[in-house]
Amino acid sequence: MTDRIPLASPARETDWLTDPVHRAFLRREAARQFAFFNASLRAGGGFWTLDYEGRPLRDEPQELHTTTRLVHSYALGKQAGLVISDDVIDQGMSYLWSHHRDADHGGYVWALDDTGVADGRKLAYGHVFVLLAGASALDAGHPDARRLIDDVMAIIDRHFWEEDNGLLCDEYNRDWTPFSTYRGMNANMHGIEAMLTAFEATGDQLFLTRAGRILDFFVGRIAPAHGWRLPEHYKADWSVDAAYAGNPMFRPAGTTPGHSFELGRLLLQYWDLAGRPAGGMAASARRLIEQALADAWNEARGGFAYTLKFDGSVDNPNRYWWPVTEAIGAIATLMKLDPQPSDHVWYARLWRFAETHLIDHARGGWFPELAADDSLAMTQFKGKPDIYHSVQAALFPLVPGLSRMSKGLAALTD
């Protein structure tokens, strides 16, 4: 029998985030995800990527963002009282230091397999996730967290942070020789996420300052100049590279509305941590989020188009799980601050779409991709590649604040 999880409509649309039945649904959904991804643990160290059934995909390399996101997610689960054992956190932290960390050249390699380093590139995208893992582990009390934070920040300072621009450059070979002049929004957006989490965990003002500088560029300059959409790709001088098209998953052409959801939520987190200064940040966050909702929602079948052209028309219509999860987090954050009637409509619409099409009610976890007819597809992903996006969709709405989610989750269990 399929184990379905009732969403439960609250008595009034304004009650979604406080309704006890919906909150129980969120906790149960998060717990089911942690239970499914426990099978990621690999004997001898590291993690498996899992298929739909939760079985190891033994030919898949272990990539840096997978290792770090498991650490981050399980650290949040521990704070929420949904993860009892530290096994995943401990194993991930150990593997980051013993395997991903490059003892010869410094930094953290992108991918490993049974023979050793499968992809030795040094990517800003991967390194900011190391910082995120360290910061979340520190909040969860891991003894090696500070060591990891200090090590990766030394690398970020030396190789990735461009002080003149207030932005992160992107990529090097394993020995730190350059192989491109590419600059990207995605690494910087996740850099904001990592820096804000590191500020929350350590109190170091440098993290908050740098996150604010990155946000100034993308929200203060780029988004207003491009119809409140976010071009993904840039040249070395940080001019938009409109012709760029790279990896179809990590560097697709055009704009990615799912990233507008993420950046809008992160802007509100920064604004809250910075003392809620005047200047319109909250309004800008709403503009980013609402533009992506309007542009990308598939009115006929639900879900979001993956990428858009610069005029907002659909480029890649494929529907993945992660933009839905990020929209849930973004809308929940707006609802905590200044709820509008449309927010409650969107929040219910997104969870009902997820419940109908994306959540695996029989086994746990979320299916990552839908075909045009709503059947499951595997054009970009194998199995269920990630807990990070979907578990945060269940956890973000549980905490009352716009920032300090880790501490907010811990407070729920006090």
- Asked about 142 being catalytic, the answer comes back as no
Beta-bridged to residue 320, according to DSSP, are 369
Q: Whose CA is closest to 328, among 15, 272, 2, 336?
A: 336
Grouping H, G, I as helix, E, B as strand and the rest as coil, residue 193 is helix
Annotated catalytic residue, options 65, 259, 344, 357: 259
Q: Where are the beta strands (DSSP E) in 139-278?
A: 161-162, 167-168, 171-172, 183-184, 233-234
Return the number of other C-beta atoms located less than 10 Å from residue 223's C-beta.
22
Measured CA distances, 372 to 238, 250, 252 (Å): 36, 21, 19
For residue 237, the Cα-to-chain-centroid distance in whole angstroms is 27
- The backbone torsions φ and ψ at residue 113, rounded to the nearest 5 degrees and listed phi first, read -135, -170
Q: Whose CA is closest to 262, among 313, 308, 319, 324?
A: 324
First to last CA, the chain: 35
DSSP-assigned letters across all residues of 357-391: IIB-TTTSSB--EE-TTSSB--SS-SSB--SHHHH
β 161-162/233-234 pair status: unpaired
Q: How far apart are CA 224 and CA 307, in angstroms?
A: 19
Token look-up 């809620």 returns 276
| Exposed / middle / buried, residue 239 (Cβ in 10 Å: 0-12, 13-18, 19+) | exposed
Residues 6+ apart with CB under 8 A from 35: 364
Q: How far apart are CA 324 and CA 258, in angstroms?
A: 8
* DSSP 8-state symbol, 188: H
Q: How far apart are CA 211 and CA 209, in angstroms?
A: 5
Annotated catalytic residue, options 22, 190, 233, 389: 389
Residue 105 and residue 175 in contact, taking contact as beta carbons nearer than 8 Å: yes
* DSSP 8-state symbol, 110: S
Q: How far apart are CA 140 and CA 334, in angstroms?
A: 27
- Asked about 259 being catalytic, the answer comes back as yes
Residues known to be catalytic: 259, 389
